[in-house]
Amino acid sequence: MTNALIEFLEARLADDDREFAGVPGDDFWLGTADLNEAWIVGMKTRMRAEANAKRRIIKAHPHVPVSAANQWGRQGFGCRTCHDFDGITTGEGWCPTLTALAMPYADHPDYEERWRLP
């Protein structure tokens, strides 16, 4: 099993953290010289809360390998949360929850098309 999607999401969240680390007062970020400081502080707070929520969602959707004896699915791994069948994780691959979290980063060069939701 590969952790590529989880590693991709964690790297993008780290990128996001770095992007707004200097707010407020960083003229590079969103052209802050022209923006209301209270709005900027509010946006920074919201962005941090959003990143923390995404990290919690990732943690709540662990993907694990499935045994060869498991006849459900074809991927060899699945999400314990989304791909549970009576306590058995089925081999359905990446869950739609994590692939949805990756959607805003679809233009990133490391994004893999196989993660795109139909």
- Tens-level pLDDT at each residue, the chain (118 residues): 578 999 999 999 999 888 877 665 444 455 545 556 777 777 778 888 999 999 999 999 999 888 655 555 677 888 999 988 888 888 888 999 999 999 999 999 999 999 998 7
Q: Pull the structure tokens for residue 89.
A: 């994780």
Domain boundaries, the chain: 4-109
Count the Cβ atoms, other than its own, within 10 Å of residue 60: 12
Residue 95, CB-side half-sphere exposure with 13 Å CA sphere: 21
The pLDDT value recorded for residue 27 is: 47
C-alpha 100/C-alpha 41 separation (Å) is 27
C-alpha 18/C-alpha 88 separation (Å) is 39
- Record the pTM: 0.78
The secondary structure element, H or E, covering residue 32 is none
The pLDDT value recorded for residue 46 is: 86
Smallest CA-to-CA distance from 94 within 113, 110, 70 is with 113
